[in-house]
């Protein structure tokens, strides 16, 4: 059986730029993680974010690139989310996950779709499914 071959061309850089431009125009946040050690969920490293991820979270997501998941998002310590992401990579099965964020009037929920990608990577599409109460408008 022949193995697939991948040719790296000098033109590859501009292709990445084009893909980033397209993915950044999505109306959903997109993050991509690389699972460095399939046995350890804490080795998920943030390797890509689109513009909507920054707009949707209000975080400087570019500053989090290259960080492991618990270093980038310390509030995830003690939650099942990193392990759920690891399982998506290792089982190659997508998952839908609802994640509450914040407390009281600042509570915002995120609806996630985590999906496996090649090379031990994981894509996470997310949308805000709520907004802070003061942003809703007058009662």
Consecutive 10-residue averages of pLDDT for the chain (139 residues): 39 67 82 95 93 86 92 91 96 88 57 92 82 38
Domain boundaries, given as residue ranges, for the chain: 20-134
Just give the CATH number of 20-134: 3.30.450.20
pLDDT of residue 111: 84
pLDDT of residue 59: 87
The phi and psi torsions of 92 (rounded to 5 degrees) equal 55, 40
pLDDT of residue 101: 62
CA distance 56 to 138: 22
pLDDT of residue 137: 35
């Amino acid at each position: 059986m022949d193995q697939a071959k991948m040719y790296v061309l000098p033109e590859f850089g501009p292709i990445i730029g084009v893909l980033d431009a397209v993915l950044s125009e999505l109306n959903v946040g997109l993050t991509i993680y690389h699972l460095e050690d399939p046995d350890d969920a804490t080795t998920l490293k943030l390797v890509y974010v689109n513009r909507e991820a920054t707009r949707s979270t209000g975080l400087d997501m570019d500053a989090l690139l290259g960080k492991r998941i618990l270093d980038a998002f310390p509030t995830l310590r003690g939650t099942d989310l990193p392990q759920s992401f690891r399982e998506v990579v290792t089982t190659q099965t997508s998952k839908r996950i609802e994640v509450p964020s914040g407390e009281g009037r600042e509570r915002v929920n995120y609806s996630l779709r985590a999906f496996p990608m090649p090379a031990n990577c994981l894509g996470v599409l997310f949308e805000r499914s709520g907004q802070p109460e003061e942003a809703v408008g007058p009662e």
